[in-house]
Amino acid sequence: MKNNHKLTSIPKIFEMQQVIDPKFLKDEIEKISSFGNRWVGSEGEKSTRRYLFKRFQELGLEDVEIEEFDCLRYTPKHSKLSVETPLQETIPCFPLEYSGDGVVKGEIVYVADGSEESIRALKDLGYSLEGKIALLLSDTPAFRIPKLLEEGVAGFVVATDAPEDLIPALAAKTYPPELEDPMRWRLTVPGVIISRKSLHRLLSLMSVGKVIVEIRHESEYSIEKTGNVIGILKGLEEEKMIVVGAHYDSQIKGIGVWDNLTGTSLLLALAQFFRSKRLKKSLVFIAFGAEEIGLWGSTVYVENHLDELKEKCLCMLCMDAVSSAYPAERSLWSEGWLKDFIMKVCEENGVSIENTHRLNLSYSDYYPFKVKGIPSAMLWEYPPVNPYYHTEKDTIRYVDVNKLAFMGAVYAKIISSLDEL
């Protein structure tokens, strides 16, 4: 029987399915995972930095170096959240990183996500946050804390939607880091983090009247030397370059596979892929340090190389938290001509982009480049965020290496297309 059906065109990206080997990615993730946690100053972080330096050399990158810099390391000592009124009980908690040391007691007030709209709604009702303990639901509290401090908040209790009563690790501070005097880079008021179950417990108590809580927070700070690992594939025409970056540090809990051994493994895979190509533009591969505590590594790199970036850098591509095993929308964070260019490349190759965002928040290492006028972009999965974000369950079990390899092919196609400009 004759088949009268027309063959549909095969998306061009499928021609590149073998660009990135999923086994290569899996092997790199498992190897770096074996070093353990990669919090700034940890042995795992130091081992990873040395390993990436060696791998950059093995993959044929040139001018491989570690650019060292100082940052502020936070070490938690003790935290406690106690309900004082209308009953007395202790709520399980984890320290809010880079919040102030001390003890504070006061009425706890739910400020929802801590947005300006939420604050305004309370103020319109005549409610003052002066001296109150703010209870907020956010996996990025550092973006909300400055406005709440302006309202006179005396302390913070942060909750997220993490499942299984997990308490994620979160920082109270974000970009910009304090490069000149790192010791100044911390809050003056204490804070803690609680589970979703504990959030519901507090909200149930607040539904019947005023709740008084006490926060205790104790920590230790030290100046820590860390570094960015940098390697270059020099182009035939060296007047232009593309920066490809991913941070290698993790939060203080777990081994941080989704965030960000996915991006780190892609960095190595793309270096391997392009080392045999004859590109016109140079590719600068950077494994950034100290991203989780406020984008220290990328900020330092931009400050140290600003003249060269202004003169030669076509754009910066950031790879962070790619390809979890959970369904999520493919999201492009970019602006201007670069956003339009990437959208066009993806469309021509059958790759769907479900949503786009402007670069108005310092979510990852693209931001210091954007602030200085360097076109930047990040492809990741959002919404929703991986439910195990910043918890001890962010392991390879919840990452899809085949999807990660596909995203590597997408990045490779974008880089190859940019090279033709």
Is residue 12 scored above 90 in pLDDT? no
Distance CA 261, CA 253 (A): 14
Fold held by 12-72+223-419: Aminopeptidase (3.40.630)
Q: Encode 200-226: b = buried (16+ Cβ within 10 Å), e = exposed.
A: ebbeebbeeeebebbbbbebeeeebeb
Which amino acid is located at 377 in the chain? A
| 78-219: CATH topology | Glucose Oxidase; domain 1 (3.50.30)
CA–CA gap between residue 130 and residue 148 (Å, rounded): 9
Report the pLDDT value the prediction gives residue 16, as an integer from 0 to 100. 55
Q: At which residue do the structure tokens 């960015």 appear?
A: 228
Q: Is 388 left (phi over 0), alpha (psi -120 to 50) or beta?
A: alpha
The reported pLDDT for the residue numbered 8 is 34
Collapse the DSSP code of 215 into the 3-class scheme (helix H, G, I; strand E, B; otherwise coil) and give the result: strand
Categorize the per-residue pLDDT at 5 as very low, low, confident or very high, splitting at 50, 70 and 90: very low
Q: What is the distance, to the nearest Å, from the Cα of residue 391 to the centroid of all Cα atoms in its chain?
A: 13
pLDDT > 70 fraction of the chain, expressed in percent and rounded: 96
Confidence of residue 4 (pLDDT cuts 50, 70, 90): very low
Mean pLDDT of 18-38: 95
Domain spans in the chain, listed from the N-terminal domain onward: 12-72+223-419, 78-219
With a cut of 60, say whether residue 357 has pLDDT above it.
yes
Q: Can you tell me the distance from the alpha carbon of 193 to that of 181, in angstroms, rounded to the nearest whole number?
A: 27
- pLDDT, tens digit, 9 for 90 and up, residues 106-160: 999 999 999 999 999 999 999 999 999 999 999 999 999 999 999 999 999 999 9
Q: What's the confidence (pLDDT) of residue 203?
A: 97
Distance (Å) of CA 260 to CA 129, 144, 268, 418: 36, 23, 13, 25
Secondary structure in 3-state letters for 344-364: HHHHHCCCCCCEEECCCCCCC
pLDDT at 17: 58
Give residue 278's pLDDT.
86
Tokens of 100: 């102030």
DSSP 42-88: SHHHHHHHHHHHHHHHHTT-EEEEEEEEEEEEEEEEEEEEEEEESS-
Residues whose CB falls within 8 Å of the CB of residue 35, separated by 6 or more in sequence, listed in order: 43, 44, 47, 48, 51
pLDDT tens-place string over residues 226-258? 999 999 999 998 899 999 999 999 999 999 999
pLDDT of res. 15: 60
